[in-house]
DNA sequence: CAGGATCCACTTGGATACTG
DNA sequence: CAGTATCCAAGTGGATCCTG
């Protein structure tokens, strides 16, 4: 578990504290559907650097939301999956997703739906 | 509306972007129940400074979640309330609250349930 | 392949003091 | 009462390069 030094005044702070990292929300959403290898996650979040991705994953792991499985082989293979505990967040994540979608449509937030051809090569 | 420069890759990022400020979650939860004056909010979040509280409130306002009503009187009175749009977050907030509570009980997160006597005086 | 190590820029929030 | 104005420390994420 991640060492939490701070004192909370409201339960929602706990959830936000666990979910509010630059990439944590998306990572958790992705993992709801299937397990991912490190490199696969990196591709999905394509602008993330390995260092930061590792950070985010470690914190999620320390908070008990995801599990890291290492396959002893060369080249290495590491798979990230949700713990049962992490799966409990699914309903919440879906609602946040839905609200975000509504907000997006309302406000006209820009999404990157496609990566440019140059970046795909 | 707050100017969002960033590009989103997933709807949940929008929600997180709007809700992930140090005090935003709690503020929104409080406002679900009743309207609050600036000073009342400051008391509830008692360690927040006026500057930061103002920042958080302004951003929530720019994102269309809360409304700021100024009463032309001396001394000034400013009331913050949820917009209908902000109320749409209620279900989501409740779920986050509930999960946070469970996480708290599981992990043993420390809550400040009471303020010390010294600070109350 | 899945990272670790360094160094660095920027953002966020807090301390303190002041005001219409 | 409800903020502003300044200044500043810490945190957070990114760039770049290296490795078992």
| Residue range B13-48, pLDDT digits in tens | 999 999 999 999 999 999 999 999 999 999 999 899
* CA–CA separation, B65 and B67 (whole Å): 7
Residue A103: its pLDDT value, please? 86
- The C1' atom of C19 and the CA atom of A119 lie apart, in whole Å, by 53
Q: Is the pLDDT of residue B107 over 80?
A: no
Which of A45-59, A81-95, B75-89, B103-117 comes out lowest in average pLDDT?
B103-117
State pTM to two decimals. 0.89
> Which helix or strand (DSSP H or E) is residue A100 part of?
helix A90-107
d(CA A13, CA B37): 22
What is the dihedral angle through the alpha carbons of A44, A83, A99, A20, rounded to the nearest 10 degrees? -80
Residue contact B12–A20, C-beta within 8 A: no
Please report residues of B whose CB lies closer than 8 A to that of A29: 10, 12
Residues B50-85: pLDDT tens digits? 999 999 999 999 999 999 999 999 999 999 999 999
* Nearest nt by C1' to B55 Cα: C13
């Amino acid at each position: 578990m991640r060492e939490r030094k701070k004192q909370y005044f409201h339960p929602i702070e706990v959830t936000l504290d666990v979910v509010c990292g630059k990439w944590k929300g998306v990572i958790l959403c992705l993992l709801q559907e299937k397990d991912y290898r490190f490199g696969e996650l990196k591709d999905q979040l394509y602008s993330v650097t390995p260092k930061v991705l590792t950070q985010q994953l470690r914190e999620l792991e320390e908070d008990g939301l995801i599990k890291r499985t290492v396959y002893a082989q060369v080249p290495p293979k590491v798979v990230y999956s949700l713990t049962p505990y992490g799966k409990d967040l699914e309903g919440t994540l879906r609602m946040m997703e839905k609200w975000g979608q509504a907000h997006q449509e309302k406000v006209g937030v820009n999404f990157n739906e496609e990566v440019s051809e140059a970046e795909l090569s």
